Amino acid sequence: MVHGNFLWNIGLIKAVGVNGLAIDPDVSFPLIATPDIAAAAAEYLETLAFSGHRVRYLNGTRDYTMAEVTRVLGTSIDRPDLKYVRLPDPVMRKGLIGSGGLSANAADLAIEINHAISTRRLRAEPRSALNTTATTLEEFARTTFAPAYHAAPPATLPARLGGVALRLYLAASGHLSTR
């Protein structure tokens, strides 16, 4: 997963006060920064030392759990107590379509990817020197996520009211007790 995908969670964090996806909180998976992908692509484009189709897997600096991601992102925005919530599929779908601007089909595919990460059906290539990149999640949080979070407007009154309703639903359904 690309670090930049967490920028979509800024609205959720501002309106509801939690970070969430449909990934279990303790499943680790690789995260990568977009500039690291660009650097690898630029190497190929500069030298043109390839032919045909070639796949190069990139795994980022290390694997993270969503509980760790939330701690890192929360710390970067002075909210070290930020909680991670594994969102129920209907909640995630509604958020992806309503706030994320995804089509219903794209939202369903995003949820399917989240489930594949949680069940480990989606696995990364074994980590090696060739596929481990330099930019940490901590660096992304400090240089990109925190500035974007602070530049984003506060949640509107309707969003805050929706956030209260969502927090109540998550608490009542037992989801809010997650990290």
Supply the CATH number for residue 82's domain.
Answer: 3.40.50.720
**Number of separate domains in the chain:** 1
Q: Does 178 map to a domain?
A: no
Between CA 82 and CA 70 the distance in angstroms is 7
**Non-local CB neighbours of 149 within 8 Å, separated by 6+ positions:** 10, 13, 14, 76, 77
Range of the structural domain that residue 17 is part of: 3-172
Give a yes or no: residue 139 inside a domain.
Answer: yes
**177 within a domain of the structure (yes/no):** no
Helix (H) or strand (E) holding 35: helix 34-47
Tens-digit pLDDT profile for the chain (179 aa)?
A: 888 899 999 999 999 999 999 999 999 999 999 999 999 999 888 988 778 887 889 999 999 999 999 999 999 999 999 999 999 999 999 999 987 689 999 999 999 999 999 999 988 899 999 999 999 999 999 999 999 999 999 999 999 999 999 999 999 998 886 45
